Amino acid sequence: MPALASLYMPQKCAKKFEFGRAAWNTIRWSPHGRFLCLGGFGALQGHMHFWDAYKKKKIGVAHDREGPKYYDWSPDSRRFVTATVRPLRTVDNGYKIWSYAGELKKHLVINQLYQASYVTAVDGTYENKPQSPRLKGRKIQDFAAAKPVRAYVPPSLRGRAGGGLAAQLRKERAESGPTRIRNGQDGGKNNEKNRKKRERRRKKAAAASSATNGNAMAAASGATAASGEKKKSNPKPTGTTTTPSAAPPPSSEKKEPTEQEKVQKKIKSLKKKLRQISQIEEKDPATLNDGQKSKLQNKPKIEAQIVELTKKLAAM
């Protein structure tokens, strides 16, 4: 969560003003206590917010992308310096001088810079000056209002739907990366081992089934022979006898779905298409291909079909 900066009164330790939340980890007051710099240095992006503490008003913002190691106010409270020094960075050392409102006044690059600091001054040397009139009406361009940077697209892919660099990388990954192997497909050594295991299990099951059937047939033939001998010893009077008819085999034909089931299935299919279209709408329009754009155009038609089928289902 971004850090919260607040101003407290020293007498009662009561909160007087909140500067808000942002990526801050540094507070620097000007020597006269009029101006304040809230910055995000070190592991943060180097954003600086300058405030007029007397008026509780933000007067400027700045951004030092060099990752400065040193930062402080000048003795006259009119300038703020940021410096990139060794040994933090061995190349592109230097310092920048900003105004109290975040305007870059000077940028000097020094190949090897070990320290940058202002010469201290005795209190009362410089006057406590307020904000200059020419800066009072200046519009502050905050970082949040900056135009977002779009992903780089090679010239050969510009102007194509879904032709961004990320889409191209996904396509190449799909072509060269691992794919899901379904049952029955060749998936390497593991699939070959699994296939042999399944084959052995089928053979064992077939052998056990044939042995069971053989024992059952032997028992049935023994019982038939015994009943034949019994019939010979006790002959029954001649006459017509009736034997119970065998039960008809179960019908293998599938039941035809009713009209109501067909309508329900159609509604389910259309709702699935709407969910897919909702997922497409969340993507960047510049990355959509022709098929996805066609689905977006068919959304009103699909919604109308769902309404019509729902009414039809309610009338059944």
The pLDDT tens digits along the chain (316 residues) read: 688 888 888 888 888 888 888 888 999 999 999 999 999 988 888 889 999 999 989 999 998 888 888 899 999 999 999 999 988 888 889 999 999 999 999 999 998 899 888 998 988 899 998 888 765 555 555 444 445 556 666 777 666 655 556 666 677 666 554 544 454 455 556 778 888 888 888 888 888 877 776 665 655 555 555 555 555 555 555 544 555 555 555 555 667 778 888 888 888 999 998 888 888 888 888 888 888 888 888 888 898 988 988 888 888 7
Residue-level pLDDT at 36:
93
Amino acid residing at 4: L
Q: Tell me the pairing of strands 14-22 and 26-29.
A: unpaired
292 Cβ neighbours under 8 A, 6+ residues apart: 162, 280, 283
CB 53 within 8 A of CB 60: no
For residues 276 and 282, give the distance between their C-alpha atoms in angstroms, rounded to a whole number.
10
Domain ranges of the chain: 3-145, 259-315
Residue-level pLDDT at 61:
92
Largest CA distance in the chain: 143
User: Hunting for tokens 């409270």 — which residue is that?
Assistant: 77
CB 164 within 8 A of CB 289: no
- DSSP assignment of 125-168 equals SS------GGGTTPPP--GGGSPPPPPP--GGGTTSTT-SHHHH
Residue-level pLDDT at 216:
59
CA proximity to 61, closest of 70, 49, 52:
49
For residues 209 and 213, give the distance between their C-alpha atoms in angstroms, rounded to a whole number.
6
pTM over 0.75: no
Write down the CATH superfamily of domain 3-145.
Answer: YVTN repeat-like/Quinoprotein amine dehydrogenase (2.130.10.10)
Total count of residues recorded for the chain: 316
